[in-house]
Amino acid sequence: MTLATVGHKSTVDVSGTPVEVFSGGDGPPLIYLHGGGGFGTFDPTSGPIAQRRTVYAPSHPGFFGTPRPSWVYSITDVAHFTLSLAEELGLNEYVLAGHSIGGWIAAEIAAMGGNSIQGLVLINAAGVKPEKSEIAEVFMVSGATRLELGFHDPAQVPNYDFFTRERSPDETAAEHSNMEMLSRLSWKPYLHNPSLPHYLSKVNAPTLIVWGGNDAIIPAECGELYRQAIPGSTLTVIDNCGHSPQMEKPDEFNAAVTAFLDGL
């Protein structure tokens, strides 16, 4: 997995599947679930969040250093797998955070009604279908087009050259493998679960929804749909920001998330 700064790396066995997990920070636990492209320039195992929580950042099944178990075919399957990972890590009360499909996985887990989740943070989460707009096509386009869709204004992205640099053969192979797994999990229905809005009412953890207001992939409308579906949730929209506020507007993103964590 590519992290801007790599924390401690370990391998955790989940029913015979070796899971790549990075960790760092101090305090009560937080599980951070990456999007389809990994972490990019955002390292959850260091920085303001890790100053408040011990962060565990696993690679999803079929992504980076974690193989896909034969039974994992959907995001709901990944949610069940991640719950088993939390048990293997010995986590009883934790904050669950996720970006894009990681947010979708986190929402599915929270909707399962477990009492272990102390708080939920959804960041431009996939998983719900917009009513007035469309989720952008990301599978049948070039990597350059996906990158253009991902940020509202590249000039305000710290270390943007990370995304435009020449890739090593191993990085290129990992990116192709990740996109293949992402399409396996979310091709049909496309990047959403029609049932998810109906059982989000079961989420009983305090929930912060953070959204880049100019997301060209998952429309900002979806953030409001999540807010309406999750009881007592709060939506923070970051203006002039695209699909990845943790990378494009890190100061505003960190301010919103740390204030939420401090209030738990």
Residue 6: predicted pLDDT: 55
The residue range of the domain holding 140 is 8-262
Residue 113: predicted pLDDT: 73
What region, left, alpha or beta, does residue 37 occupy, with left being phi > 0 and alpha being psi -120 to 50 degrees?
alpha
- Enumerate residue ranges in the chain where pLDDT < 50: 1-4
Q: Which helix (H) or strand (E) holds 186?
A: helix 169-186
Asked if residue 182 is part of any domain, the answer here is yes
Residue 2: predicted pLDDT: 46
Total domain count for the chain? 1
Asked if residue 151 is part of any domain, the answer here is yes
Residue 30: CATH number of its domain: 3.40.50.1820
Asked if residue 69 is part of any domain, the answer here is yes
CA distance 104 to 110: 10
CA distance 251 to 262: 16
Asked if residue 192 is part of any domain, the answer here is yes
- 38 residue type, one letter: G
Residue 5: predicted pLDDT: 54
Asked if residue 2 is part of any domain, the answer here is no
Neighbouring-strand partners of residue 208: 121, 234
Asked if residue 3 is part of any domain, the answer here is no
Asked if residue 145 is part of any domain, the answer here is yes
Task: Identify which of 67, 46, 63 has the alpha carbon closest to the alpha carbon of residue 55.
Answer: 46
The model carries a pTM of: 0.96
CA distance 28 to 63: 26
Asked if residue 51 is part of any domain, the answer here is yes
